[in-house]
Amino acid sequence: MIEEKEWRFSRIRRAMLEQEMDGLLAYAPGWRRENVRYITGGLIRSSFALAYLPIEGRSAFFSTLREDLHATEEQGRVEDSFLLSFPDCHELINRLKDGGAPKKLGIAHLELMPKLLLNKIQESLPTTTIVSATKLMDQVRLVKSNWELEQIRRAGVVCSAGWEAFVAALKPGATEFEIVANVEAELKRLGAQDNFMLIASGGKEVMGMTPPGNRQLQEGDMVRTELTPQLDGYYAQICRSAVLGEPNEGQNQSFKLFKEALEAGLSVVKAGVTAHEVAVAENDVFRKYGFGEYCTSQYTRVRGHAHGLHPDEAPAIIEGNDMVLEENAVIIVHPNTYTPLAGYHVLGDPVVVTKDGYEPLLTTERALFTASV
């Protein structure tokens, strides 16, 4: 893992040099740990952790949980680790001052940092310019190492197995909670550490997906889901829809529309294209058939996104986003939205961006699945 550490640290430090930063501090609240995980390699459990990487010198990790220190020390990527005293945080402040305070400090997830901590840093480093490094780290994490790609490929295999479990659990009378419970059990059996999942069942009235509820499935329902298992810290996502019984005409028409849009988006994916170009390719299919309004902010504008250490990373695949897709980025292309044909429909595949196209991460067929009743 030494090579992995050097690869990551060199990417971060190159980006720091470009923005004239001599220190980068990654902050991890409980729900956004991806930057600290990227630096340390550890599966952080604390709701309050940080990692510090100077432009030169030793890296450091700080957490309010002793278990996190053990987890990161096992990875061997960060040289020093400290149990953090909150709200004093003197361990962090002392390290930032060690050898001279940075002239320009970038903080990843500065926007989420508690004011109490930010004020402490500003007061302790009065000559330091503090800026956000959130976009910097988004760009750094976009391109995956070979090791990262292997973890995401494994998660893709589990995605396909999770979808099989999803379809197998569909039957009239089953609740959304029961469907999700069956899927979660299979994913955890296959080694998933986590799973981000949304679901929606019903007909044309369905406008979007939500966490599961007590609604019981009925014959004729279209059941939509996105499931996103995590393995070794890395996520992959699948989006599919299935019908209880035989699909009606509207459901079949909807599937054909969404499949064409998905494949149009994938057809332009390659290193060097922008998120905007992929979104336009998808949306143009809707516009061609008179459904363009359903790709606007009134309904759903996002046509996909990247993922890795977080299930929903930059760039969002959306018109107007000129972030460039680089080789070995991982994105999901999904033209998910509502139309009057069959209500909200989901269909999406994760892929690795390659020099001339993409590598699919799923073995699951692009089909409108059916469950017997």
The residues that bridge with 369 in the sheet, in sequence order, are 242
Residues present in the chain in total: 373
Check whether residue 172 and residue 295 sit in a common domain: yes
**Could you tell me the two tokens for 73?**
């020390």
SS (H, E, C) 273-285: CEHHHHHHHHHHH
User: Within this chain, do residues 116 and 174 fall inside the same structural domain, yes or no?
Assistant: no
Query: CA-CA distances (angstroms) from residue 55 to 13, 23, 61, 87?
Result: 6, 6, 15, 27
pLDDT attached to residue 85: 93
pLDDT band for position 228 (cuts 50, 70, 90) = very high
- Kindly state the average pLDDT of the residues 202-228: 97
Rounded to an integer, what distance in angstroms lies between the CA atom of residue 30 and that of residue 44? 9
- pLDDT category at 86 given cuts 50, 70, 90 is confident
Distance (Å) of CA 92 to CA 29, 62, 96, 118, 221: 16, 7, 6, 12, 54
Distance CA 89, CA 296 (A): 45
Kindly report the CATH number assigned to the domain that includes residue 293: 3.90.230.10
Quote the distance between the C-alpha of residue 123 and its chain's center. 34
Q: Can you tell me which residue has the tokens 């080694």?
A: 191
For residue 99, the model assigns a pLDDT of 81
Domain final residue, candidates 141, 165, 189:
141
Q: Are both 67 and 215 inside the same structural domain?
A: no
Q: pLDDT at position 327, please?
A: 98
pLDDT at 164 over 70: yes
Model confidence at 87: pLDDT above 90? no
Same domain (yes/no): 78, 224: no
Q: Report pLDDT for 1.
A: 62
- 60 and 159, same domain (yes or no): no
Please give the mean pLDDT across all residues of the chain.
96
Residue 219 in this model has a pLDDT that exceeds 80 = yes
**What does the alpha-carbon distance between residue 237 and residue 230 come to, in Å, rounded to a whole number?**
9
pLDDT band at 259; cut points 50, 70, 90: very high
Last residue of a domain, one of 141, 158, 183: 141
Question: How many domains, the chain?
Answer: 2
Same domain, 152 and 216: yes
The boundaries of the domain holding residue 114 are 2-141
Check whether residue 82 and residue 103 sit in a common domain.
Answer: yes
Helix orientation angle between 2-18 and 134-142, rounded to the nearest 10 degrees = 130
Are 279 and 196 within one domain? yes
Instruction: Judge whether 309 and 41 are in contact, CB under 8 Å.
Output: no
Distance between CA atoms of 62 and 65, rounded to whole angstroms? 9
Angle of CA points 314, 318, 321, to nearest 5°: 70
The pLDDT score that the predictor gives to residue 312 is 95
Q: How far apart are CA 95 and CA 173, in angstroms?
A: 59
111 pLDDT higher than 90: yes
Q: Is 88 exposed, middle or buried (0-12, 13-18, 19+ CB in 10 A)?
A: exposed
CATH number at residue 95: 3.40.350.10
Same domain, 261 and 352: yes
- What's the average model confidence in pLDDT over 316-331? 98
pLDDT tens sequence across 174-202: 999 999 999 999 999 999 999 999 999 99
Question: Within this chain, do residues 123 and 20 fall inside the same structural domain, yes or no?
Answer: yes
Q: Which of 120, 141, 162 is the last residue of a domain?
A: 141
The answer on 102 and 75 residing in a single domain is yes
Helix, strand or coil, per DSSP, at residue 359: strand
Across residues 200-217, what is the average pLDDT? 97
Domain check: are 248 and 312 in the same one?
yes
